[in-house]
A and B are shown apart, each in its own frame.
Chain A
Amino acid sequence: MSNLKVNVAGVEFKNPVITASGCYGFGRDYEDMYPLSALGGVALKGMTFKERLGNPPPRIAETPSGMLNSVGLQNPGVEHFLANDLPYLEKQDTVLIANIAGSTIEDYCKIAERLSDSSVHMMELNISCPNVKEGGVAFGTSCEGAAGIVREVRKFCKKPLMVKLSPNVTDIVSIAKAVEAEGADAVSLINTLLGMRIDINSRRPILRNNVGGLSGPAVFPVAVRMVWQVANAVKIPVVGMGGIEKWQDGIEMMMAGASAIQMGASLFYDPMAPVKVVEGMNKWLDENHIENISDIVGTVKPW
């Protein structure tokens, strides 16, 4: 049995596997398949200060080795979360990462302030949601926008602050550096890639929102490349995600430079996938006589 513990921005995770925001609700929907304590952490559904209804359906379309979604941050708002979900979650012996979003910088600051005195362990600043018209990815696609929001939220956020980056940019490295310079404690990447599908019979986009975020195994190589580039450019930890479905993918993502990983779309076809990844990683470490999983982080030997 190897040591699967990892540390991200001062927060200890019992293993590096975290379920990705938006794919795991507030943690209750899979609880009868395995306990949340089997996971290193849970990145909770993206939350806004006030309730949001999200986009009209259809909100999902299948793609080769992946899927598009256009949920649009449907969530009950931070007060509902604090009253109804957090009391349950804080008893589950796993790291809780609150994913926070908004339309204005002020919205982000208000929610960061409200959660700072709660029992969540970390905050993940969502400046990369492609499915909302205002805010979201608008902050995440320029260095100035990303730096500006991190600077302001940092004043209110008393928890370790991880910034979730968009891959829909020309140079993700410069954005990672910009948020690091403003005091981000970690970055997580990648959010979904903007995509589109069309029903050729009706000539209508399948998604009512016309476009949506691509996730699933199709995006995995893009995610590995971006994690590798960012991890080589910043000193803060990188949490890698995008299409991870099996333990080999997790090892690969960590070798690219991720200190921990998140899993999302794979849950939809295999709800046990995160647990299988933890088991598979552990076995591989044992077979290769590697004592600590953190020893493999960033160990790719580029040509």
Chain B
Amino acid sequence: MAHIQGEYPIIKVGSGAMVDYTIHCPDIVNEAKAGQFVHIRVPGFTLRRPISICEIDKEAGTLRILFDIRGEGTKELAKRKEGDLIDVMGPLGNGFDLLDKEKKAVVVGGGIGVPPMLQTAKHYGANATAIIGFRNQDLIVLEEDFKNNDVPVMLCTDDGSAGHHGLVTDMLKERIAQGPVDIVYACGPKIMLKFVAKMCQENGIRCQVSLEERMGCGVGACLVCACKTKKENGEETYSHVCKNGPVFEAEKVVFDE
């Protein structure tokens, strides 16, 4: 697995509910796949910030990332302007396993779990369905981006201020009832992933989830980003989000850690 590190220019700063940077980094883009992440250095902070890749434009040589301001580090990182350089290491981790474009895919994203779903859904275009959930209407991102790529969107909010008033799993149930689904990809809060995985298992649908954990090196050397998984023999062990993931087959993940 190649990982590259360097300083690259931000060529576009989007407006919206999340911080939205498009970064020109052709060498990283060349290697990048949907579901992978980049590890971003924030001057003055010891740890890089792992951020999932939202969009990959091979022709333009650009990556797009979206993130929320969660603490001091992301607050600092959010101050970048067009033309600023940003220290990016990547692409890291294993991406989603993308099937034939004709297959029927459902991407399920909750909040900050929505961005990695865009590149994944684009692979399938109209054969994908995007089920995206947010706390309220002010926090919605990427709805238009999915639609612009012919991906039908099922929108949910916790407070009912937009779309379905309720959980993404309500919409997933509805989508499964509508017709065949070959694969489900999910990213979001662990509790959401747990119920998405359960629903897929009950319906015999393959499901891949992208996990999050506090991370150090990003390449598998320091072993801090442990997540509980099942080995082939069913025994539980600790895998690492950065190197073994962030994408795992849902049936291999132990959600009740």
When distances are taken between beta carbons in the complex, the residues of chain B under 8 Å from A57 are: 213-214, 224-227, 238, 257
CB-contacts of A248-298 with B (<8 A): 265, 267-272
> Are B46 and A61 touching (Cβ within 8 A)?
no
Count of residues in B whose CB is under 8 Å from the partner chain: 31
Q: B24 within 8 Å of A by Cβ?
A: no
When distances are taken between beta carbons in the complex, the residues of chain B under 8 Å from A55 are: 226
When distances are taken between beta carbons in the complex, the residues of chain A under 8 Å from B243 are: 29
* A270 to B88 alpha-carbon distance, docked (Å): 11
Interface string of A18-62 (1 = CB under 8 A from B): 000011110001101100000000000100000001111111111
When distances are taken between beta carbons in the complex, the residues of chain B under 8 Å from A202 are: none
CB-contacts of B217-234 with A (<8 A): 217-228
* A63 to B73 alpha-carbon distance, docked (Å): 11
Q: Given that A74-B226, A271-B5 are contacting pairs, would A29 and B220 also be in contact in the complex, using a CB cutoff of 8 Å?
A: yes
When distances are taken between beta carbons in the complex, the residues of chain A under 8 Å from B41 are: 269-270
> Are A60 and B224 touching (Cβ within 8 A)?
yes
> Are A265 and B46 touching (Cβ within 8 A)?
yes
CB-contacts of B52-82 with A (<8 A): 73
Q: Given that A33-B5, A53-B238, A56-B257 are contacting pairs, would A269 and B48 also be in contact in the complex, using a CB cutoff of 8 Å?
A: yes
When distances are taken between beta carbons in the complex, the residues of chain B under 8 Å from A62 are: 45-47, 73
A55 to chain B, nearest CB (A): 8
* A57 to B224 alpha-carbon distance, docked (Å): 7
Q: A184 within 8 Å of B by Cβ?
A: no
B228 to chain A, nearest CB (A): 8
Instruction: From B3, B46, B227, B237, give the contact of A269 (CB < 8 A).
Output: B46
Interface string of B1-33 (1 = CB under 8 A from A): 111010000000000000000000000000000
B40 to chain A, nearest CB (A): 10
Q: A170 within 8 Å of B by Cβ?
A: no
> Are A32 and B1 touching (Cβ within 8 A)?
yes
Instruction: From A23, A29, A66, give the contact of B46 (CB < 8 A).
Output: A66
* A269 to B46 alpha-carbon distance, docked (Å): 6
Enumerate chain B interface residues (CB-CB to A < 8 A). 1-3, 5, 41, 45-48, 73, 89, 213-228, 237-238, 243, 257
8 A-B pairs within 8 Å (CB atoms) are namely A23-B217, A25-B222, A53-B237, A57-B224, A66-B46, A217-B46, A268-B222, A269-B47
20 further interface pairs, Cβ-Cβ under 8 Å (given A57-B224, A67-B46): A22-B223, A29-B220, A32-B1, A56-B228, A56-B257, A57-B225, A60-B215, A60-B225, A62-B45, A62-B46, A62-B47, A62-B73, A63-B46, A67-B216, A71-B222, A71-B226, A74-B223, A268-B47, A268-B48, A271-B5
